[in-house]
Structure 1
Amino acid sequence: MSDDQDAAGAMSFIFEAGVLKRAARTGWWFAGVKHPESIAEHSFRTALIGMVLAAMEGADPGRVSMLCVLHDTQETRITDMPHIAKRYLTSVPNTAVTADQVADCPPAVAEAMRAAVAEYEAGETHEAVVARDADKLECLVQAVEYRHQGVADVQRWIDSSRAALRTASAHRLADAALTGSPMAWLNPPAR
């Protein structure tokens, strides 16, 4: 494959990932959120939470952030299926979707992406555990924010997200999210 073909393949994946900026997280509609966050917005904050958790847990922040950024990229092709839909539909594994998405990328890019998604999906490395916690914690934090905005039916997301957390640091952050205010940062304590 030529350098131009490699660049075109990589750019195709980059354009495809841009769809995530416009694709809404569908589960929030069930809670009554009229304009839910996009998949890209969720992934951005998941990566940020992943960096924080990685530092707290002694994991590699860069690797965790990469896993977080890539964890929902497959949704350009399979959409963000709410959990209730998964009862009735079957889909291919995320690793297979990613392999198709990056098939025309330069080999080193394709391998890095495939390996990161496989690591996240297996959930066995310390970084994958932290990244999965970041995903669940972001959902919990988003539910707390929606509740603060007046959306009443978010407790199921809080409960299921909290129950899925595995690291001590994620549990501490969840406690802080549930006892704090999403707007507290606007009034920092005097120094």
Structure 2
Amino acid sequence: MGMLKRAKRSGWWIAGVKDPETIAEHSFRVALIGSVLAMMEGADPAKTALLGLWHDTQETRVGDIPHIGRRYLDAASNQKVTADQVSASHPAVRTGAQRIVEEYETGDSPEATCARDADKLECLLQAVEYREQGYTNVQPWIDSSVAHLRTASARALAEAALNMNSIEWQQTYLP
């Protein structure tokens, strides 16, 4: 997973961001936001955070393919990539990792819903922060993120993030 600390989130380059966040930075904040959303929604915050930490681990194999790039590629499913990643791991790790990724991808639990909302909310927050830094082409990321939020708690946090600057957000909502 050390590669995720070095690999940049490539979609931001499309918006003109010169030095975007890493995949690991994104996943860390997804986990924190997910745990907060889970607390707000009555789901298990630890499980939600775990789903958030694992949600982009496949990018160690396939990279961070921007949304527009997915139009042209037939990438393996995240479940298939994870199975390959953990194929030589301890059997409990192999089974556990595959179960975590499957739950996130199918989105059929309250924790998966919170983790997926956390992923979108983190993208929205990052876009707001980049906009504050002068990057003006981030509105599509904001709009797309808001459109995909499923929980009332995530929608409320998104509205708050859109109506305050990042310093106010940090002082009020922590993650």
Choose which of 66, 85, 90 in structure 2 pairs with 1:106. Answer: 90
Q: What are the superposed Cα offsets for residues 32-62 of structure 1, whole Å, 9 maximum, x if unpaired?
A: 1000000000000000000100000000001
How many residue pairs end up in the alignment? 172
Aligned counterparts of 2:147 and 2:36: Cα–Cα separation in 1: 20
Aligned counterparts of 1:83 and 1:187: Cα–Cα separation in 2: 32
Q: What are the superposed Cα offsets for residues 88-130 of structure 1, whole Å, 9 maximum, x if unpaired?
A: 1111100010011111111111111100000000011111111
Aligned counterparts of 1:49 and 1:143: Cα–Cα separation in 2: 15
Aligned counterparts of 1:143 and 1:48: Cα–Cα separation in 2: 17
1:41 is paired with a residue whose SS is helix
Give the aligned partner of residue 162 of structure 1. Answer: 146
- When residues 186 and 158 of structure 1 are mapped into structure 2, their CA distance, relative to the original with a 3 A threshold, is closer
Give the aligned partner of residue 79 of structure 2. Answer: 95
Task: Within 5 Å, give how 1:9-28 maps onto structure 2.
Answer: 17-28=1-12
Letter in 1 for 2:65: M
- When residues 185 and 115 of structure 1 are mapped into structure 2, their CA distance, relative to the original with a 3 A threshold, is closer
Give the aligned partner of residue 176 of structure 1. Answer: 160
Aligned counterparts of 1:65 and 1:56: Cα–Cα separation in 2: 13
What is the CA distance between 1:74 and its match in structure 2?
0.1
Aligned counterparts of 1:157 and 1:187: Cα–Cα separation in 2: 24
With normalisation by structure 2, the TM-score equals 0.96
What is the CA distance between 1:133 and its match in structure 2?
0.1
Give the aligned partner of residue 74 of structure 1. Answer: 58
Give the aligned partner of residue 4 of structure 1. Answer: none
Aligned counterparts of 1:62 and 1:186: Cα–Cα separation in 2: 22
2:150 is paired with a residue whose SS is coil
Aligned counterparts of 1:127 and 1:43: Cα–Cα separation in 2: 15
Letter in 2 for 1:76: T
Letter in 2 for 1:74: Q
Letter in 1 for 2:166: P
Aligned counterparts of 2:102 and 2:171: Cα–Cα separation in 1: 42
Give the aligned partner of residue 110 of structure 2. Answer: 126
With normalisation by structure 1, the TM-score equals 0.88
Correspondence 1:58 to 2:58: no
For structure 1, which runs of at least 5 residues remain unmatched after alignment?
1-16
Give the aligned partner of residue 137 of structure 1. Answer: 121
1:160 is paired with a residue whose SS is helix
Choose which of 41, 44, 50 in structure 1 pairs with 2:25. Answer: 41
Choose which of 135, 142, 147 in structure 1 pairs with 2:131. Answer: 147
Give the aligned CA root-mean-square deviation in angstroms.
Answer: 1.2
